[in-house]
Amino acid sequence: MVIWGISRLISRRPPHSILLSSQTFGSLLPQTRFSRPIGSTLRWNSNSINSAGSATNEAKIAQQPTTLWFSISDKVGSLDDVLFEIRRLNVSLTSIESRPSRNRGEYDFVVDFVAADSREVDNVVTKLKDCVKGVKVVSSGSKDSETTTLGVPWFPRKITDLDQFADRVLSYGAELDADHPGFKDLKYRERRAEITRLAREFRHGGKLPHIEYTPDEVKTWGVIFDGLTKLYPTHAVREVQYVLPLLVQNCGYRNDNIPQLEDVSNFLKDCTGWTLRPVMGLLSSRDFLNSLAFRVFNSTQYMRHTSQPFYTPEPDVCHELLGHVPLYADPDFADFSQEIGLASLGATDEDINKLATIYWFTVEFGLCRQGDEVKAFGAGLLSSFGELEYCLTDKPEKRPFDPLKTAVQKYPITEYQPVYYVAESFSDMKELVKDYSLSLERPFAVRYSALTQSIEVLNTKSKIVRFGKTIIGDLAKLIAAVEKY
């Protein structure tokens, strides 16, 4: 599906960083200057911070802590001022951890405390703004919080959270603009409405809707299928040419049959762990990109109007199945696409726009160098006769793919692209986006657990240590495998 129209702050804790969480707080911190190495961990009991209200504290401890991130100047007494303010607010502080800052003369801190409700969290944030820089709530454990993240936009944590996108679309598949080829066709509008209804009712874990396509729809598909597949050998990347016969064999790709999403999704699951999900219409950039983090691609199922088989003003089943699907069976491309999704989780609106632009110039309209030639891999190209031929001519400008520059490049949505970006390979493209994501203004890191199909926010020492142990275990397996050869 097209998005039409459209951190490194939690780093590895070095030996000199500090973790404060228990016993000896009062006498040490006023003298602490954070530019010097600190060789030991300082601890204190949360009850020593709050001398009053013990009954209230006991009730709070049962809740999950709220995590704050902020920066302070590297000078004597800076942290003491912050802790004094927290103590004055009478909240249960459970831990503090320092992190190296990207800004010279500053230190970043991650603080966990227990709050009764979101109002108390808001009060702490408001008060701390006077003595710290850039305070943000990374996660909230308050019992009345509507989301698990405050201070950053909400994002899904479990794959079932994607069900919340079911009817959260910018426009419905049944709603057509006056210039749409099917605007005056009542039967076509009713057909679209029925297909979008099935998408709205779908929930994760259910069987994807089976669509009985009409003879006219199959005929339209056949014209498009035959025309595009004739161009692929000379215009598409080799990965598309490799996967297409597998789609013919396993999913019923042929000119007299429109494949069902269920069959295609199962095939992708076996290849790369990706799945398809039916969608009513156009999602926001944020919702669409967030889904990619779970290796889920939102796909329409309705067909363009049969009166104009070579034109569609929005993504349809031809665009999805011919433009997008083949490359989601390729491991390198599949991983690249997920990297964009992971970078979008909790990103600012500005960063979402930049990531959506990167998506536009890669997943939708990307070119890739293969040997001495440049080939197309973007879905907007692979599903368009005219632009697939045009993009490889000398008419448009071709630039090397650079996420920093690509993210701010303007583009038209109603005409052929005047500029295309050329990647050296899918794996190179993935690494560049990984590096780019580290520059985003997000005070935490995330990882995807394929085992639980969930997102883990790496914002506590225990989570980071557990993740590290996983990496160590995988590395040991890698070494054992290498030693066998």
Which residues define the annotated binding site for Fe cation?
319, 324, 364
- Give 166-230 as a DSSP string: TT--SEETT---TTSTTTT-HHHHHHHHHHHHHHHH--TTSPPPP----HHHHHHHHHHHHHHHH
- Active-site residue 235, yes or no? no
Task: Identify which of 272, 393, 251 has the alpha carbon closest to the alpha carbon of residue 322.
Answer: 251
Assess contact for 170 and 282: CB atoms under 8 A.
yes
Query: Of 291, 383, 384, 437, which is the active-site residue?
Result: 383
Q: Is 58 tagged catalytic?
A: no
Q: Which of 285, 319, 344, 437 is catalytic?
A: 319
Q: Does 383 participate in catalysis according to the annotation?
A: yes
Residue 292: which residues within 8 A CB-CB, separation 6 or more? Answer: 337, 338, 340, 341, 342, 344
Quick count: other Cβ atoms within 10 Å of Cβ 429? 26
Q: Which residues are registered as beta bridge partners of 273?
A: none
HEC string for 408-459: CCCCCCCCCCCEEEEECCHHHHHHHHHHHHCCCCCCCEEEEECCCCEEEEEC
Q: Choose, from 92, 235, 324, 339, the residue flagged as catalytic.
A: 324
> Is 324 an active-site residue?
yes
**Residue of 398, 392, 403, 388 lying closest to 418 (CA atoms):** 398
Q: Which residues define the annotated binding site?
A: 319, 324, 364
Q: Of residues 364, 384, 387, 437, which has the active-site annotation?
A: 364
Question: What residues are annotated to the active site?
Answer: 319, 324, 364, 383
